[in-house]
């Protein structure tokens, strides 16, 4: 039997803390060489794009997952639909049997934030108290929630190209997390006073300048998940240690891609993949004054780890519609 799980059911089943733990475990397994390299396929469409990400992971049972997501930036204003939507097919990696078909939205949101939480645990200074969030949509919210789980944050600057979104974000997140969250009108000054900077926007041209970032800052570059997106000044990457989620993928579609294209970096300049840092195979932050950049393109390892958590909880709770696809 195959379980069909709606977005509402996935949201009810997947909690952020367990998602962070599952994603950390997936990165560790990859860093230890216990997983095959994930795969990604991009497909351009009119007014948007599709991407397919696939990976296998052993998490008690052995799972394979393939996620198909559509990314259509104008969906909200034109049709009242989410910008990103899709499905995850979760299979038994030993038999090929389809176990579940899950709405992908909540998993994509949570696992992306969870990766930043994992990266911050290993790459940010443990005493980091001030953060700037660039991009105040759903992903900005989960990024801040994840950071607040792993760092002693006190002050947050919220910046967005739409100031009204930054204002709404500040009010809602201050009430939810008990932090001092304020809209940032000057991004440069906000970044200069921050210990952590997260960029989670759909920008096509970099806006985070090298000279703005203070020594000791941890930068999580989250928005660039296709070759035409860019948030980080290539000179910032070239001048500082870079940790990637997956080297091959970041070289193709991440902010690293633009630094390589500009000729200011080579793949050998990347310090490590996050999984290697989590597994203790390569160093992450080596000195308190380092600016450390995490290039996060989003991997299918995160998807399969989170989908496995949802599926196992759904089975135990009797949640979802069970169908016989082969009937």
Q: Which residues are catalytic?
A: 67
Rounded to whole angstroms, how far apart are CA atoms 124 and 218?
5
Closest by alpha carbon to 134, among 43, 230, 228?
Answer: 230
Give residues with Cβ within 8 angstroms of 125, minimum separation 6.
195, 216, 218, 285, 288
Give yes or no for a contact between 299 and 16, defined as CB atoms under 8 angstroms apart: no
Closest by alpha carbon to 37, among 52, 61, 54?
Answer: 54
Closest by alpha carbon to 267, among 295, 299, 289, 288?
Answer: 295
Side-chain-side CA neighbours of residue 216 (13 Å) = 13
Two structure tokens written together for 194 = 């921050």
**Residue 44 pairs with which residues in a beta bridge?**
49
Side-chain-side CA neighbours of residue 189 (13 Å) = 4
Give yes or no for a contact between 275 and 28, defined as CB atoms under 8 angstroms apart: yes
Closest by alpha carbon to 100, among 207, 32, 2?
Answer: 2
Strands 196-199, 242-244: pairing is unpaired
Give residues with Cβ within 8 angstroms of 163, minimum separation 6.
183, 185
Q: Is 16 helix (H, G, I), strand (E, B) or coil?
A: helix
Give residues with Cβ within 8 angstroms of 21, minimum separation 6.
none
Q: Is 210 helix (H, G, I), strand (E, B) or coil?
A: helix
């Amino acid at each position: 039997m195959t379980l069909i799980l709606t977005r509402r059911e996935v949201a009810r089943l997947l909690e952020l803390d367990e998602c962070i733990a599952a994603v950390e475990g997936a990165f560790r397994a990859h860093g230890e060489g216990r997983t095959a390299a994930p795969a990604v396929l991009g497909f351009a469409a009119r007014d948007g794009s599709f991407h397919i990400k696939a990976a296998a992971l052993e998490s008690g049972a052995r799972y394979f997952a393939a996620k198909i997501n559509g990314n259509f930036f104008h969906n909200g204003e034109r049709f009242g639909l989410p910008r990103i939507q899709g499905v995850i097919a979760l299979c038994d990696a030993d038999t090929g049997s389809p176990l579940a078909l899950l709405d992908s939205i909540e998993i994509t949101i949570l696992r992306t934030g969870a990766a930043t939480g994992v990266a911050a645990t290993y790459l940010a200074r443990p005493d980091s108290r001030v953060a700037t969030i660039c991009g105040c949509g759903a992903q900005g919210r989960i990024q801040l929630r994840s950071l607040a789980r792993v760092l002693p944050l006190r002050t947050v600057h919220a910046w967005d190209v739409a100031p009204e979104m930054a204002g709404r974000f500040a009010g809602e997140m201050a009430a939810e997390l008990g932090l001092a969250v304020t809209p940032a009108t000057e991004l440069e000054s906000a970044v200069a006073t921050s210990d952590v900077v997260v960029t989670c926007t759909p920008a096509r041209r970099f806006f985070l300048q090298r000279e703005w970032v203070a020594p000791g800052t941890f930068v999580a570059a989250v928005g660039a998940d296709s070759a035409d997106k860019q948030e980080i000044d290539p000179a910032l990457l070239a001048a500082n240690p870079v940790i990637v989620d997956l080297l091959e993928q970041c070289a193709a579609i991440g902010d690293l891609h633009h630094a390589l294209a500009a000729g200011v970096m080579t793949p050998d300049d990347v310090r490590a993949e996050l999984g290697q840092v989590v597994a203790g195979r390569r160093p992450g932050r080596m000195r308190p004054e380092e600016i450390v950049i995490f290039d996060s393109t989003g991997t299918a390892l995160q998807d399969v780890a989170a989908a496995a958590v949802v599926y196992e909880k759904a089975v135990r709770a009797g949640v979802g519609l069970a169908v016989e696809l082969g009937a």
